[in-house]
Amino acid sequence: MAASAPSLSFLFLLLTLFQGISIANATVFTLLNQCGYTIWPGTLSGNGAAALGDGGFSLSPGASVQFQAPPGWSGRFWTRTGCNFDESGNGRCLTGDCGGTLKCAGGGTPPVSLAEFTVAAGPGEKDFYDVSLVDGYNVGVGVKPVGSGSGDCQYAGCVTDLNAKCPPELRVTDPGTGNVVACKSACAAFDAPEFCCTGDHATPQTCSPSQYSVLFKDACPTAYSYAYDDASSTCTCSGSDYLITFCPTGS
């Protein structure tokens, strides 16, 4: 006698169970705006995963939002400033713009501060994360592991206002006010192999810190300052959720 097909109620129970396991294993990202003004965070997911928060949204001063990322997720978070969008979500931002749209389909235009993650694919594996200034700086950002994570689980970030310390040759200013709104990387400013770690300078042995990356590193010791700044900038943790704070010291 042939075996009977599983009942719909049994299949629903299995689906609910698998969904519960997936949610339990998800990594929770909390984005907090401690800036004294509205920001427009952007998100970019790798590996073909759906964009968290539809790729971009507004966040008022003091507000926060949470997203769940599945095991194995990788991607980045940044924020945009000085944005003006219409009802259709079309518009522009002074910094971090992602193609003139509220919901980003790609990364933010440099200079922009980045929080980057690769989440563990399975139990016992490590998450990798960093705060990067390789593409320049627009606002301070900090990443703090929260919950019951294990391992090194270090704080990563740039809490210093680099716009106030930015050399004149790297400054990006607001055309309306003249205020410094972002600080370029030396690579973006000069497009030279020794700053971009390209051509004859494409290895760790041939691409050394520059006076500009040293300035970034001195101000933000736990952030990536240039392409080969791995040793003191990549953090790991297992089984943690993460708090990403924009303007960690307020602004």
Q: What is the pLDDT of residue 100?
A: 97
Q: Spell out the per-residue pLDDT of the chain, length 251, in tens.
A: 444 555 545 434 333 333 444 445 799 999 999 999 999 999 999 988 899 999 999 999 999 999 999 999 999 999 999 999 999 999 999 999 999 999 999 999 999 999 999 999 998 899 999 999 999 999 999 999 998 888 989 999 999 999 999 999 999 999 999 999 999 999 999 999 999 999 999 999 999 999 999 999 999 999 999 999 877 789 999 999 999 999 998 65
The pTM (predicted TM-score) of the whole model is 0.88
HEC per residue, the chain:
CCCCCCCHHHHHHHHHHHHHHHHHHCEEEEEEECCCCCEEEEEEECCCCCCHHHHECCECCCCEEEEEECCCCEEEEEEEECCEECCCCEEECCECCCCCECCCCCCCCCCCCEEEEECCCCCCCCEEEEEECCCCECCCEEEEEECCCECCCCCEEECCCHHHHCCHHHEEECCCCCCEEEECCHHHHHCCHHHHCCHHHCCCCCCCCCHHHHHHHHHCCCCECCCCCCCCCCEEEECCEEEEEECCCCC
Sorted by where each starts, the structural domains of the chain and their CATH numbers stand as 27-246 (2.60.110.10)
Q: What is the pLDDT of residue 7?
A: 53
